[in-house]
Amino acid sequence: MHWLWLAAGVAGLAQGLTGFGFGIVAMAVLTPVLGPKAANLVVTPLAGMNIAVGLWAVRRSINWRRALPLCCGGLLGTPLGVQILLHADALLLRRLVGVVILLTAIGSFHAAGKPRATPSREWWGFATGALGGVTGGAVAMAGPPVVVYAYRQPWPLRGIKATLLLFFGGTVAARLALLVGRGEYPVSILGTITSMLPLVAAATWAGHRLTDRVPRKQVDRVAAALLTIAGVVLLLPPGRP
């Protein structure tokens, strides 16, 4: 049980600070303990609470013009990702994406604190969102492509967080609706999930409060470190369900 609380607290703090990372941290810790399916069932509603608190904290920084290309691309890419999941070799796919993410993380460390001078064109946002949808549908990690894109923009940190949270909010809502609709949630874990929601909310808020106290370059490095974790997790042998 202590692994659940540790994972939820650290994951909430990470995403509160950077705008992403809840699923990466929580799944990295819980998958070896619970197995991938049970970990997903626990993490999905907790991620919903995390995103809700995060969006409330940065509500004044929401810019739909920034987020819309990403969200539309994600809606387009997700079905393709699911088809890849159904027909491609799952282990090969995980490892290929893991290598790409690790290479991206290395580039992110090098570029930490060095955003572009001007924003990328909107079609880049759409393409990145589509790629995130594909990776999310295929290996349940939509974040890395979108995170790299967002952290390279000359946006304020709160604007980056708001944009990422809007993108993740749509994907988590769709996943939760699908799981509930299929009756995947056993009554036995609902109490555990409910008891952890206040911890997730508090950790997320604490991470958000740190945003203005941590230099942008350091936050960029935390984001790159989380990308590294994501790549390593994908390269490891998958846990047993």
Q: Which domain holds residue 179?
A: 2-235
Task: Please state, in angstroms and rounded to a whole number, the distance separating the CA atoms of residues 51 and 154.
Answer: 23
**Three-state SS at 182:** coil
The answer to the question of residue 124 being in a domain is yes
The answer to the question of residue 66 being in a domain is yes
The answer to the question of residue 241 being in a domain is no
The answer to the question of residue 240 being in a domain is no
**Other beta carbons within 10 Å of 99:** 13
Task: Please state, in angstroms and rounded to a whole number, the distance separating the CA atoms of residues 128 and 50.
Answer: 23
Q: Which candidate, 200, 201, 171, 154, places its Cα nearest to that of 56?
A: 201
- Is residue 152 pLDDT above 80, yes or no? yes
> What is the value of pTM for the model shown?
0.79
**Other beta carbons within 10 Å of 77:** 25
pLDDT digits (tens, 9 = 90+) for 160-172: 989 999 998 887 8
Number of domains in the chain: 1
Q: pLDDT band for position 222 (50/70/90)?
A: confident
